[in-house]
Structure 1
């Protein structure tokens, strides 16, 4: 029986730049394999081979997606054996995790030396061009966030904070019931990201096995993120393990909390990650109806429509710049792909699988 698969991001192209949560994502693992070296798409190819090799086993697999192109992986975590395999270019130049064995692997060995030099010559200057475009994208995201701040102000100014606090405390008292006396384990991740194709999220996947799902509706500035921050703090104080999912646009904002021991999730279910109840155990919590002064939408309809238009236009511009980044990166990767030795790449995947078999006393990949 195949184990559960979880999909999320560990990094984000955000309004404050490239933001990483890898240290939290990888914290607590016993062993992390770090794949170093410029290989074009080789690392994601290797991770895809590993994902396929482990697809039918009963481990819970965490698939960490690339923030620019979510169709590619930059990491895999095997939950039960507490093992991770990570693209070193995505994580850190000098990876350190307390209590974790780091095994460094050099993917350059899977490239043909002469062709590697040709690839480096062909791509000269393109990394610098990508860096300029990334900065342009981040500047555009920041501009978009400032427009979003204008949008939020209408609702912040009309928020009944007493009602908002009551909603939070009632939720905590009803749902956050400790399952024992212990220190809480806290994990930070991104449920979604701003990719070259726009916003992508994995809310349905991350919540599909949970008994209770609370879909929070509202408006920008209606107190959703503040509520999540208070609930996360309260859960930690009560010793309840919590997965904290940050906003892929503004990492200082929270979009979802999952409490695995309680089989419970509460999440912001508004655009760009809008979802609706589909089964028993799902319910809607509308903070606009419960905590915002009645008639706020109607009173500021014209002003809000103008701001929404500017926000949408600015966000489209930001995504368009990321599309330019991907185009250039694809050109770089295409050059490096010509240097990849497929047999050597498969052998490297086999080395990782073999080492993990030794660590776990398992046979994850059958003989060809």
Structure 2
């Protein structure tokens, strides 16, 4: 019987650059396999082969998607086995996790002898072009964030902070009830990302098995992220395990909290990750209606519409740069793929499977 699947991102193309949460995601695992080596799409292929090998077993599997192209994987976690597998190009050049055994698997051995120098020479200029485009994309995302800040100000200036604090306190008292005394386990992830195809999120997948889901509605600047930060701090103080999901556009903001022990999620359910209640246990918390001065939308409708238009255009421009990066990177990966021995690549995946079998006393 296949186990549960969780999908999310470990990194983000954000307004502050490439932002990673892998140290938090991998923290606490017993063993982490690092698939090392500059081999184009080879590491993603290994992870895809591993995902296929473990598809039908009973473990809860975390699939960590690549932020540029969500169809590619850059990590897998086998939850009950406390084992992680991560693309070394996506994590750290010198990975260290306290209390975790790191096993480095050399995937570069799958490159055919004598090809690597030629491939590196052919792709050098393309790699430099990709680096320059990433810098351009991050600058564009930052400009987009500054426009978003203009948008937020209308609502920040008309926010009833006392009422907002009251909403947060009432939620904590109603829902964040600890059932045993312990130290909280806190993990940070991204629920969504700005990909080359636009914004993408995994909220439905991450929350589908939870009993209670709170869909927070509102406007930019209506206090949603601030509420989540306060609730995360309160949950930790009460010993409640918390999955904290950062905004894939502005990692300093939070988009969702999941409390697994309470079977509870509360999340920002506005664009670009807008979702609506669909079953029993779902409810809406509209902070605009509850904590923003009545008539704010109407009073500043013209100004807000102009800012929204600039924001949308700037975001589309930023995404178009990621699309250019994807196109050029495909050329680089194609050059490396031509130099990779498919059988040797499959052997890398088999090596990981056998080591995991030995660690878990199981077989696939």
- Tell me the TM-score range normalised by the shorter chain: over 0.9
Task: Describe how 1:188-227 pairs up with structure 2 within 5 A.
Answer: 188-227=188-227
Which residue in 2 is equivalent to 1:87?
87
SS in 1 for 2:329: helix
Which residue in 2 is equivalent to 1:344?
344
- Deviation, 1:93, is 0.2
Q: Equivalents in 1 of 2:116, 2:360: separation in Å?
A: 35
Which residue in 2 is equivalent to 1:247?
247
Q: Equivalents in 1 of 2:113, 2:314: separation in Å?
A: 44
Which residue in 1 is equivalent to 2:46?
46
Which residue in 2 is equivalent to 1:116?
116
Which residue in 1 is equivalent to 2:165?
165
Task: Give TM-score, length-normalised by structure 1.
Answer: 0.98
- Deviation, 1:338, is 0.2
Which residue in 1 is equivalent to 2:286?
286
Instruction: Assess if the C-alpha contact under 8 Å between 1:225 and 1:253 holds in 2.
Output: yes
Instruction: Assess if the C-alpha contact under 8 Å between 1:147 and 1:310 holds in 2.
Output: yes
RMSD value over aligned CA atoms? 0.6
Give a deviation string over 1:140-187, Cα, whole Å, max 9, x none: 000000000000000000000111011100000000000200000000
Instruction: Assess if the C-alpha contact under 8 Å between 1:115 and 1:338 holds in 2.
Output: no
Is 1:228 the counterpart of 2:231? The answer is no
Give a deviation string over 1:3-34, Cα, whole Å, max 9, x none: 00000001000000000000000000000000
Instruction: Assess if the C-alpha contact under 8 Å between 1:9 and 1:64 holds in 2.
Output: yes
Q: Equivalents in 2 of 1:128, 1:204: separation in Å?
A: 37
Task: Give TM-score, length-normalised by structure 2.
Answer: 0.99
Task: Describe how 1:289-328 pairs up with structure 2 within 5 A.
Answer: 289-328=289-328
Which residue in 2 is equivalent to 1:237?
237
SS in 2 for 1:124: helix
Unpaired runs of at least 5, structure 2: none
Which residue in 2 is equivalent to 1:360?
360
- Deviation, 1:118, is 2.3
SS in 2 for 1:113: coil
Q: Equivalents in 1 of 2:219, 2:248: separation in Å?
A: 17
Which aligned runs of 4 or more in structure 1 are off by greater than 6 angstroms? Answer: none
- Deviation, 1:114, is 2.1
Which residue in 1 is equivalent to 2:97?
97
Q: Equivalents in 2 of 1:124, 1:2: separation in Å?
A: 43
Q: Equivalents in 1 of 2:312, 2:175: separation in Å?
A: 36
- Deviation, 1:189, is 0.2
- Deviation, 1:127, is 1.2
